[in-house]
Structures are given as structure tokens and as C-alpha cells.
Amino acid sequence: MTTPLTQGDISAEIADEREAYAKRVADGAPVENHPSRGYAPYRSSVLRHPKQPLVAVNGDPEAVELTGPAFGVTDITAFDHDLTRQHHGEPLGERIKVTGRILDREGRAVRGQLIEIWQANASGRYAHQRDDHPAPLDPNFTGVGRTLTGTDGEYEFVTIKPGAYPWRNHVNAWRPAHIHFSLFGTAFTQRLVTQMYFPGDPLFAYDPILQSVTDESARARLVAAYDHDLSTPEWSLGYRWDIVLDGPAATWIEEGR
């Protein structure tokens, strides 16, 4: 019988990983914008990451991955971006608006592309059969949204603020409140699945998934900004979160396809 992992164990590993990263950078290694797939404090990664280096496919202008799928009005319905209007009643929780722009590495707007989100309800429970957290389900909240980006790469969702929830990475493990995002660019190489966090969450330091991004400024890019100008009087609070897609963009397809 192994001793159950404590938060202290995981926090010590998180600190070690951060220290090792700082030393790598000090020794001249490049900034790491993405998590290492083998980041061990997130225990589920242990058997699910490749140990061989990735094989670089650079300089092949014919690579299929330099193009990507298209989405359009047939893939979206009118209320998909408003998670508070998908049922007969209003969901419980703090109503919020989340908005921002999707850009590529060159700063160009990513237009007409699909964004999908999913999240827990206000009490930290997913509408998923395998979520057995004993927090109430909300019959008026599923927690799924979709939208297409506009001509300036902009998007907007209306939803409720998700709750924190426990998980079983270690004893007393809690995920900070977050919204899952799935994004497409003009090329398959730009595909991104990530999570948006809320500013000032006291759980940040304890969470091995957020902390898997060992670079502090990269980690900060996962946190939305509260923007009072986006708050609607007597209705909802506003958050801004801009997203930059990594990877080479499509080069030979006209911009804004």
C-alpha cells in the first residue's frame, strides 16, 4: 500500500519543476510556452505522453497540416454562444460575459473559425455521467457553447461562472474555476485546446494542470482579465480573454477564408 499523495508532495514537485525550468532558461534554453507532456505532478500524464522526441515536419509546403477544416453558419445555431438560454429556465450562478479576439502568431485575426467551450456549473459539477462530485446538477445548465469568430477574430460567450471542483490527482486536490476552450485556425497546425482561468483564484498555486505551464508569463496568458467596461449594469460581469494560436498559419489560402 503506497502512502496517499498529499498536496504537500505535489506542491514540492511543482516547485522542483519550476526551479528546473528557471535553471534551463538561465542556461540559455528557450522559453517554454506550452506544458511539457511528461509533467509528472499531473499524474495522468505518466503513461500518456510519448518519450521519443517529436519528428519535425518543417519546410514541406505540401504538408496537409498547413491547411485546415472550415466551419460555417450550418454548424452553429443562434443560441449556441449563450449558455444561459439553452433551457426553459435560468441557470443558477453568477452571470458573466467572456469576450476577446483570436489571433495568429503574426497578429492577424483568425476569422470565421469555430470556438467550442465546455464547463462545470456554478457548484462545480459537470453535466457528465462520470462526474461523481456530490454537488448539485442544474437542470437549466448544460455548460456547452459554440461560436464562429467574427471579421476581427472576435468572439463572445454569455455563461455563468463555473465553480471549483475536487479531483483525484492527490488528496484534497481542487481545480481552480475554468472554462475549457477548443479553437481552430486557418491551418491544422494551429489547433488549440486549452482552459481559461479567472483572475485572483486562490487555487492557482495548488493546481498541477495550470502549473504544468512552468513559464510564469505564459501561465498568466491563461488567465482572463476582469474588464469593468464589459460588465452590463444590473445584469452580468465581463471578462476579456484574447487567444494567440501557435503554429504556422496557412500560407497559400487567402486570408479570412
Partner 1 sequence: MSLAPTPSQTVGPFYGYALPFAKGGDIAPTGHPDTVTVHGYVYDGAGLPIPDAIVEVWQPAPDGSRTGAPGSLRRDPVKGEIIGRDGVAFTGFGRIATDADGHYVIRTLPPGGAPYLSLIVFARGLLHHLYTRAYLPELTDPTADPLLASLSPERRDTLLATPDTGSAPGVLRFDIRLQYDGVHEETVFLAFD
Q: Does 168 bind partner 1 (CB under 8 A)?
A: no
- Cα 189 from chain centroid (whole Å): 17
A 10 A CB-CB count for 94 gives 12
By CB under 8 A, what part of segment 217-256 binds partner 1? Answer: 217-219, 221-222, 243-248, 253
239 is an active site residue? no
Task: Compare residues 227 and 231 and give the one whose CB is closer to partner 1.
Answer: 227
Q: Residues 124, 209, 52, CA angle at the centre, nearest 5°?
A: 140
By CB under 8 A, what part of segment 16-55 binds partner 1? Answer: 31, 33-37, 39, 42, 44-52, 54-55
Q: Does 150 bind partner 1 (CB under 8 A)?
A: no
- Min CB(129)–partner 1 separation in Å: 8
Among the listed ranges 10-18, 91-99, 139-147, 153-161, the one in contact with partner 1 (CB under 8 A) is 139-147
Among the listed ranges 6-14, 15-23, 127-135, 229-237, the one in contact with partner 1 (CB under 8 A) is 127-135
180 is an active site residue? yes
Distance CA 32, CA 25 (A): 9
Task: Compare residues 166 and 231 and give the one whose CB is closer to partner 1.
Answer: 166
Rule CB under 8 A: choose which of 103, 135, 137, 171 binds partner 1. Answer: 103
- Min CB(83)–partner 1 separation in Å: 11
With b for 16 or more beta-carbon neighbours within 10 A and e for fewer, the 240-251 pattern comes to: ebebbbebbbbe
Beta-ladder partners of 211: none
By CB under 8 A, what part of segment 173-212 binds partner 1? Answer: 180, 182, 188-189, 191-195, 209-210, 212
What are the DSSP calls for 192-234, one per residue? EEEEEE-TT-TTGGG-HHHHTS-SHHHHHTTB-EE-GGGPBTT
Distance CA 257, CA 181 (A): 22
Catalytic residues: 126, 165, 175, 178, 180
